[in-house]
Amino acid sequence: MSIEETQTSRPLTGIRILDLSRALSGPFCTMTLGDLGATVIKVEPSENGDMTRLWGPFSGGQSVYYLSANRSKQSLSLDFRHADAMPLLRRLALDSDVVIENFKPGVAEAMGLGVDVLRQLNPRLIYASISGFGSEGPARDAPGFDQIAQGHGGLMALTGAETPTRVGVAIADMTAGLWTALGIVAALRQAEATGVGERVETSLLASMVSMLGVQGQRYLSVGDVPKRTGNANPVIAPYGTFETADGPINLAPATEAMWHSLCHELDLDALCDDPDYATNVDRVRHRDRLHRVLEERMRQRPRAEWVRRFVNAGIPAGVINDVRQVFEDAQVQHCQLVRHAHHPVIGQVPHMAIPIRMASVDVQQPACAPPLLGEHTQAVLRSYGFGPEEIADLIARGVVTQHTAA
């Protein structure tokens, strides 16, 4: 089945996105929009393609990193240094609904691909940008990398126990990509109503600050600078990770009723009458001592037994899975959170499905596997109205490259 056939009737079918982004934030955004039906044209440098194609580990010669963020797209291979490359991109932008880039601020303008130039050519264009720290301000020109943003945006100061700790995935990149996707969808709706395009912008820093949630609000509202609490909840106790006879579990008795049920299940009913634990505020104040008392009892039985007992009693509890255990989990498999798409080199490639289900259309099935470099160059140019002779000339002069099967 072709990519066009798999995208038919998805929510964003008919929306064409010219994707000039690379690495993760932009590609994660456009992969999401591609899953939802948009036609995503990923423009890649002819020599090596997106930089992540060179990052290991590899499966069948293909970068796993690239595979993780580039399904549901078509690849056009372009020599960005060729004199005709920028005029070609401007021509493509003329007939696109969205352009997305994540260059450092000012680079797109220097290339002749800035928002003012492209929206003058196409007033309905949605122009989306992702940067490290924003297009204005004292840190405007600072390099934007995920861990730098996690630290600068406060997330690392809240994560871990003894020392600031980065989250185990590139959370700044991925959340920036999701915010951008949401902004693009909103701008498309606005353009539908007004006939005028929009500039959509976010940064890794802005994404991290927005994700501080209640911890950020604590400072803004009462001047409280939250500290790291490891796996404990900063404002609820008991709540967090507890050791059992054969490994840790997560436990989240967030209400008074759950607290009383927990004491009953652990045969520690006397704790309910202890004034040190009378209210949540009291339990937070004495959290370390309470944690030791509860954990001493939990270490007497295996984690599966405790989780079963707690869940049956209406107390939120769960095991802590490694990645292998996640994908072997019965609930994960039942919800079909892994889907497959055919790759021309590897064959069937498993992908983590977009975590959205819709009643009338299966958006979780990838529109296509991540493309080979330049796999769709000719097809993309034809879809933009380029004729056979013009395409052949562009290939002959090295402006674009079409992947050919080995």
Catalytic positions: 173
Q: What stretch of H or E contains 146?
A: helix 146-152
Rounded (5°) CA angle 365-369-370: 130
Q: Report the C-alpha dihedral over residues 231, 236, 238, 243, rounded to 10 degrees.
A: -10
Phi and psi of 170, rounded to 5°?
-80, 70
What is each CA distance from 174 to 5, 64, 70, 170, 284, in whole angstroms?
Answer: 28, 16, 13, 6, 33
Helix locations, 233-285, DSSP H:
256-265, 280-285
Within 345-387, residue ranges assigned H as helices are 377-383
Q: How many CA atoms lie within 13 A of 43 on its CB side?
A: 23
Please tell me whether the peptide bond between 253 and the residue prior to it is cis, using omega within 30 degrees of 0: no
CA distance 154 to 223: 15
Q: E-strand spans in 151-297?
A: 198-203, 240-244, 247-251
- Supply the DSSP symbol for 20: -
